[in-house]
């Protein structure tokens, strides 16, 4: 398959996927289709490790395209994005996110569901959706168990990003490195993983998922239901998205 919004580098043991819409690598519907197609190739290859990178120096991804949150598009966007998230999480393939710069909204959600996350020193991770009149369904399902209810509430309810040092401190990422060392650090992780038995690694990842419990899957189902059934029908969500696209402050109606 030919890709235009991502780069896909298949390998018999290691595959890499590069978000390729610089400078902010916004995730639109076309990219979601291509990410799901690339993930199908990863599964067909039975790759042991898959790494997510991003083109440019400014951002891993600033999130999902706001225009795709508008009525008529939001259901398809949520379905495609959550389908990708569930596939990555359930896969036996070990995933690594190599992030830099702005890692926000859906971009942060994509990175954080990976098994390992390496970030550059200038990385900012956040869920700013609340300021646009919505909430991040994946983060709402994932963060409370990952970093505790109160820190998760701070990130999601205030919508303010945290820097790489704070993200490492609370356990969102594994390691912070200078930008120049990002690829070498990822290569070190990959080399260590490839030194393990592929079948044992896959079974161990399954055991880790069991250790984390089934909270995420159930929580994401409920979070998605609330998002599409209740939130997407509010006047303020439409107003928040419209205000962002029109580059003006939102006029909340609180309904």
Question: How confident is the prediction along the chain (255 residues), in pLDDT tens digits per residue?
Answer: 899 999 999 988 999 999 999 999 999 999 999 999 999 999 999 999 999 999 999 999 999 999 999 988 999 999 999 999 999 999 999 999 999 999 999 999 999 999 999 999 999 999 999 999 999 999 999 999 999 999 999 999 999 999 999 999 999 999 999 999 999 999 999 999 999 999 999 999 999 988 776 789 899 999 999 999 999 999 999 999 999 999 999 999 999
- The active-site residue out of 34, 109, 188, 217 is 109
What pLDDT score was predicted for residue 102? 98
What pLDDT score was predicted for residue 1? 82
Note if 43 is an active site residue.
no
- Write the CB contacts of 192 (distance below 8 Å, at least 6 apart in sequence): none
What global pTM score does this model have? 0.96
Task: Say how far residue 141 (Cα) sits from the centre of its chain.
Answer: 13
What pLDDT score was predicted for residue 211? 78
Note if 109 is an active site residue.
yes
Domain boundaries 1-180+198-255, CATH class = alpha beta
- The active-site residue out of 79, 129, 166, 217 is 129
User: Which element (helix H / strand E) includes 37?
Assistant: helix 29-45
78/84 Cα distance (integer angstroms): 10
- 3 state SS of 16: strand
What pLDDT score was predicted for residue 209? 86
247/60 Cα distance (integer angstroms): 23
Q: In this structure, are residues 35 and 6 in contact, taking their beta carbons and an 8 Å threshold?
A: yes
């Amino acid at each position: 398959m030919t890709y235009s919004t991502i780069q896909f580098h298949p390998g018999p043991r290691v595959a890499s996927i590069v978000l390729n819409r610089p400078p902010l690598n916004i995730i639109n519907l076309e990219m979601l289709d291509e990410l799901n197609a690339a993930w199908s190739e990863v599964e067909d290859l039975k790759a042991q490790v898959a790494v997510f990178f991003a083109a440019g120096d400014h951002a891993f991804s600033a999130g999902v395209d706001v225009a795709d949150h508008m009525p008529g598009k939001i259901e398809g966007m949520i379905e495609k994005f959550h389908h990708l998230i569930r596939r990555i999480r359930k896969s036996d393939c070990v995933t690594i996110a190599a992030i830099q710069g702005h890692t926000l909204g859906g971009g942060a959600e994509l990175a954080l569901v990976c098994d390992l996350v390496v970030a550059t020193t200038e990385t900012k991770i956040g869920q700013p959706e609340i300021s646009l009149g919505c909430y991040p369904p994946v983060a709402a399902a994932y963060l409370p168990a990952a970093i505790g209810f109160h820190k998760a509430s701070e990130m999601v309810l205030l919508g303010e990003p945290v820097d790489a040092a704070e993200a490492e401190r609370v356990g969102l990422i594994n390691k912070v490195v200078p930008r120049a060392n990002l690829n070498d650090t990822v290569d070190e992780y990959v080399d260590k993983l490839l030194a393990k038995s592929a079948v044992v690694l896959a079974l161990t990842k399954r055991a880790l998922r069991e250790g984390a419990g089934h909270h995420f899957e159930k929580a994401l189902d409920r979070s998605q239901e609330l998002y599409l059934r209740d939130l997407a029908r509010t006047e303020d969500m439409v107003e928040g998205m419209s205000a962002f696209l029109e580059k003006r402050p939102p006029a909340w109606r609180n309904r």
